Structure 1
Amino acid sequence: MTSSLQYSPVQAPSHILGLLERLHALSLDEEPLVNNALKDAVQLRNHDVDAGNRQLDNAMRDKFVALDKDKCHFVYQLILATGAKNVVEAGTSFGVSTIYLALAVGRNSSGGKVIATEKEPEKARQAKEHWKEAGETVLKHIELREGDLLQTLHNDLPEIDLLLLDIWTPLALPTLKVVQPRLRPGAVIVADNTISSAVGYKEFFDYVKDPEGPFRTLTLPYSGGLELVTYMP
Structure 2
Amino acid sequence: MSLPPNPVVAPPHVLSLLDRLHDESIKQESVLGSYLSSADGFGDLMRDKFIALDKDKCHFVYQLARAIDARNIVEVGTSFGVSTIYLALALGSNLERSGGKGKVIATEKESTKAAKALQHWREAGDELVTRHIDLREGNLLETLKESVPTLDLLLIDIWAPVALPALKLLEPRMRPGAVVIVDNSISSASRYADLLAHLRSPTNGYINLTLPYSNGLEMSIKF
The answer to whether TM tops 0.5 is: yes
Single out whichever of 63-72 and 168-177 deviates more from structure 2.
168-177
CA contact (8 A) 2:43 2:159 kept: no
Cα distance in 2 between the residues matched to 1:171 and 1:215: 20
Q: Which amino acid aligns with 2:42?
A: L
Query: Where does residue 193 of structure 2 map in the other structure?
Result: 202
Query: Where does residue 19 of structure 2 map in the other structure?
Result: 21
Q: Which amino acid aligns with 2:216?
A: G
Normalising by the residue count of structure 2, what TM-score does the alignment of the two structures yield? 0.93
The alignment partner of 1:206 has SS state of: helix
Work out which of the residue numbers 148, 161, 164 in structure 2 matches 1:157: 148
Deviation per residue, 1:143-178 (Å, 9 max, x gap):
100011111111110111000001112222111101
**Percentage of matched positions with identical amino acids:** 55
CA contact (8 A) 2:179 2:219 kept: yes
Point out which structure has higher relative CO (alpha carbons under 8 A, 6+ apart): 2
Q: Which amino acid aligns with 1:115?
A: I
Work out which of the residue numbers 161, 165, 179 in structure 2 matches 1:174: 165
Q: How many residues get paired?
A: 218
Runs of 4+ off more than 6 Å: none
Normalising by the residue count of structure 1, what TM-score does the alignment of the two structures yield? 0.89
Work out which of the residue numbers 58, 78, 98 in structure 2 matches 1:72: 58
Q: Which amino acid aligns with 2:188?
A: S
Deviation per residue, 1:178-218 (Å, 9 max, x gap):
11010011000000000011111211122111112211111
Single out whichever of 171-180 and 156-165 deviates more from structure 2.
171-180
Which runs of no fewer than 5 residues in structure 1 stay unpaired? Answer: 45-54
**TM-fit CA distance, 1:58:** 2.9
Which runs of no fewer than 5 residues in structure 2 stay unpaired? Answer: none
Query: Where does residue 59 of structure 1 map in the other structure?
Result: 45
Q: Which amino acid aligns with 1:29?
A: K
